[in-house]
Structure formats: structure tokens, C-alpha cells
């Protein structure tokens, strides 16, 4: 399943600004910090993220072709704020939601969606 594009547009304007206030503090929410590959503008996107050691799993609720996913893959890294901790995530890659590489906590909610983004965490 993939959430509808209309919901993505609504969330971008209405919900995301609200979630940015509490998502960096309350797991499994987190904030992805990245730079637009064309605009060079800095963005902060609330996401669902699970950590297992130095492995990160983000469920891609709007699919693998969203701008932020393409931006972080093109850059090869991005920032993440989770539980008030800042991280640098390297090697972002998209995998099917049934991949054995997903963090254990993400496996059940990932079943509802097609794909997830994996990366390696480095503490800032």
C-alpha cells in the first residue's frame, strides 16, 4: 500500500509543521534533515524510524519516489534527529518492506507498505 498523493500534499502543508515540534523527541518518529538536489534548500521531514544498533529503517509511507527519498539517495547521506539525538546517516538505500535487513521493530508496520529506506547511523 502507498498513501495517496493528496494526503501527502495535505501533510506537507498542515500536518508536517505540527509534527516537526514533537517528532524529534518521541520515537518511533524522527526528523530527516536533507538538502534539495535542485534547489539546494534545507528540508526537515517527519518520518517513522526504527534503530537497531547502527542500522536505521524508515518506512516509506508515500513510496520510494518522493522528493526527499530521491534527495537523500543522490546525496548519499542525510541528518536525522531521533529521541533528541543528532545522527548522520550514510548509505541510504531503498529495499522491499519484507527485507530481512529491516530493524526488528519496523517489520510489522512495514507490512502495510511497499518499501523502506535503510542506512547506517553515525552519532554527530
Whether this model's pTM surpasses 0.75: yes
Average pLDDT over residues 18-29: 90
Average per-residue pLDDT for the chain: 92
Cα–Cα distance, 27 to 2 (Å, whole number): 22
Q: Are strands 85-96 and 115-123 parallel, antiparallel or unpaired?
A: antiparallel
Average pLDDT over residues 8-26: 83
Cα–Cα distance, 71 to 58 (Å, whole number): 15
Cα–Cα distance, 113 to 63 (Å, whole number): 8
pLDDT higher than 90, residue 41: yes
**Would you say 52 and 104 are in contact if contact means Cβ atoms under 8 Å apart?**
yes
Cell of residue 17, nine digits: 509543521
pLDDT higher than 80, residue 81: yes
- Place domain 24-123 in its CATH homologous superfamily: Electron Transport, Fmn-binding Protein; Chain A (2.30.110.10)
Q: Show me where the domains of the chain are located.
A: 24-123
More confident residue, 104 or 11: 104
At 90 the pLDDT is 98
3-state class (DSSP) for residue 11 = helix
How does DSSP assign 20-89, residue by residue?
Answer: HHHTTTSTTEEEEEEE-TTT--EEEEEEEEEEETTEEEEE-TT-TTSHHHHHHHHHTEEEEEETTEEEEE
Amino acid at each position: 500500500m502507498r498513501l495517496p498523493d493528496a494526503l501527502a500534499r495535505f501533510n506537507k502543508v498542515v500536518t508536517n509543521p505540527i509534527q516537526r515540534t514533537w517528532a524529534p523527541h518521541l520515537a518511533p518518529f524522527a526528523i530527516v534533515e536533507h538538502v534539495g538536489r535542485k534547489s539546494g534548500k534545507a528540508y526537515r521531514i517527519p518520518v517513522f524510524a526504527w534503530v537497531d544498533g547502527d542500522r536505521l529503517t524508515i518506512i516509506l509511507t508515500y513510496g520510494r519516489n518522493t522528493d526527499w527519498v530521491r534527495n537523500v539517495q543522490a546525496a548519499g547521506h542525510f541528518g536525522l534527529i531521533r529521541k533528541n539525538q543528532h545522527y548522520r546517516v550514510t548509505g541510504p538505500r531503498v529495499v522491499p518492506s519484507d527485507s530481512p535487513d529491516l530493524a526488528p521493530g519496523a517489520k510489522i508496520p512495514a507490512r502495510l507498505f511497499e518499501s523502506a529506506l535503510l542506512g547506517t547511523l553515525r552519532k554527530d
